Amino acid sequence: MRDRLLDLAYEVSRVTEEKVGVIDQVIRQTGILAINARLEAARAGAAGSAFSVVAQEMGSVAQSIREVSSELRAAIGANVALLESAGETLRRDLRGARFADLSRNAVEIIDRNLYERSCDVRWWATDSAVTSLLHDPNGAARRYASERLATILRSYTVYLDLWVADCEGRVIATGRPDRYPDAIGADVSRAEWFRQAMRCESGEHFHVCDVARNAVLGSAPVATYSTAVRQDGATDGAPIGALGIFFDWAPQAAAIVGGVSLDEDERIGTRVMLLDANFRVIAASDGQGLLEEHYPLVIDEPRRGYYQRDDHLVAYALTPGYETYAGLGWFGCIESPLRAR
């Protein structure tokens, strides 16, 4: 509807200019005829005096029509310009509001996904294989725990690995020791995920780190969730170690920003992004700037909004969180050219 309105405005402008041009041509022809008539009347002398008056009136009529044509062109041109401006503003506002909604939808989808990760880590921290290992970290317990973690990974393909660390921050079991051999024995005592896990007040609590590259996991970008493993798996049991789970961020995030519902024209030159609370690009439909670029987002409204920057429209939305997962203050963001290329 918005594009149809602009198309109509452009068509009115075109037709008006075309028809006024025809009128101008007729006026010129009429003026030439009036001049020729006056010349012929002058040659005819007294016999042509009456015709001279008619020729003069023809010239006056032509001049009047010329003035009306000029006023018509000015009036219609001004109103068409206003109509075009109103149409452009309407198109920008409707598109901006729609893109803000799509931005919210994108960040909400990822947070719904990550809410499930917060459930996973709290659930698996109570697994008997994990708790038994931390009670008695012998060789058999480690093998059993590793087998159990590997079984989980085969079912939950969104993870790169799962690590169990003892109270001192030493990784004693993982789900993929063959793929990531450096994880076993790694000292994670200073890692945020471990330190925060050991501070969790109960088994109902967890910690999540912003997306970052993990050197032990091949420098892959991961979202890390952690919680304390507690005595006998009890919610209020004393912490005896920590469980860290590493969400395979890149393919999941790429699927979300690449799956935003844009039509073919809108996709041209459009960039769909997920930004962290500091506006760092953590996912982008063009694959550029990941974990390095800080996008210059301008927040006019705290929850969602849009604005024009140069010849682009920028729309954004803050995560609403999902269920008990408040999120990390991430934004969905869409940057798109105002006009199709």
225 assigned to some structural domain? yes
Residues with Cβ within 8 Å of residue 192, at least 6 apart in sequence? 207, 209
On whether both 129 and 247 belong to a single domain, the answer is yes
Q: Minimal CA–CA distance to 276: which of 266, 286, 267, 289?
A: 289
The separation between CA 68 and the C-alpha centre of its own chain, rounded to angstroms, equals 51
Domain hosting residue 64, numbered range: 2-91
The 304-309 sheet, strands edge to edge? 281-284, 271-275, 331-337, 312-318, 304-309
The structure tokens 């022809």 sit at 29
- Quote the tokens at residue 246: 């590493």
State pLDDT tens for residues 272-326: 999 999 999 999 999 999 999 999 999 988 899 999 999 999 999 999 988 888 8
Strand 304-309 relative to strand 171-174: parallel, antiparallel, unpaired? unpaired
- Quote the tokens at residue 78: 């001004």
CA distances 14 to 3, 5, 28, 204, Å, are: 16, 14, 21, 68
Triad 30, 35, 40: Cα angle to 5°:
120
On whether both 10 and 86 belong to a single domain, the answer is yes
23 assigned to some structural domain? yes
Tell me if 193 sits within 8 A of 224, measured CB to CB.
yes
Q: Mean of the pLDDT values across residues 61-74? A: 67
Q: Mean of the pLDDT values across residues 1-16? A: 61
Lowest mean pLDDT among 18-22, 106-110, 176-180, 206-210: 18-22
On whether both 74 and 122 belong to a single domain, the answer is no
Percent residues over pLDDT 90 in the chain: 65
> Any idea what the CATH number is for the domain that residue 183 is in?
3.30.450.20
Total domain count for the chain?
2
On whether both 85 and 189 belong to a single domain, the answer is no
pLDDT higher than threshold 90 for residue 121: yes
CA distances 257 to 50, 158, 253, 274, 308, Å, are: 82, 17, 6, 7, 21
- Quote the tokens at residue 171: 């990784």
Q: Which burial class, exposed, middle or buried, applies to 263 when counting CB atoms under 10 A from its CB (0-12, 13-18, 19+)?
A: exposed
pLDDT higher than threshold 70 for residue 76: no
Q: Mean of the pLDDT values across residues 189-204? A: 96
Domain-ending residue, one of 252, 270, 295 = 252
On whether both 63 and 7 belong to a single domain, the answer is yes
State pLDDT tens for residues 24-40: 676 676 666 666 666 66
126 assigned to some structural domain? yes
Lowest mean pLDDT among 48-57, 190-199, 205-214: 48-57
The structure tokens 């920590």 sit at 242
Residues with Cβ within 8 Å of residue 28, at least 6 apart in sequence? none
Instruction: Identify the pLDDT of residue 170.
Output: 98
On whether both 248 and 165 belong to a single domain, the answer is yes
- Rounded Cα distance, 131 and 179, in Å: 24
Q: At what angle do helices 128-135 and 139-155 cross, to 10 degrees?
A: 150
In the three-class reduction of DSSP (H, G, I as helix; E, B as strand; rest coil), residue 13 is classed as: helix
Domain-ending residue, one of 200, 234, 252 = 252
Residues with Cβ within 8 Å of residue 219, at least 6 apart in sequence? 213
On whether both 152 and 212 belong to a single domain, the answer is yes
Instruction: Identify the pLDDT of residue 89.
Output: 74
CA distances 277 to 27, 72, 213, 331, Å, are: 67, 55, 17, 7
197 assigned to some structural domain? yes
pLDDT higher than threshold 80 for residue 45: no
Percent residues over pLDDT 70 in the chain: 74
Q: Minimal CA–CA distance to 118: which of 268, 278, 291, 323?
A: 323
234 assigned to some structural domain? yes
- Rounded Cα distance, 95 and 334, in Å: 11
pLDDT higher than threshold 90 for residue 74: no
pLDDT higher than threshold 90 for residue 1: no
pLDDT higher than threshold 60 for residue 251: yes
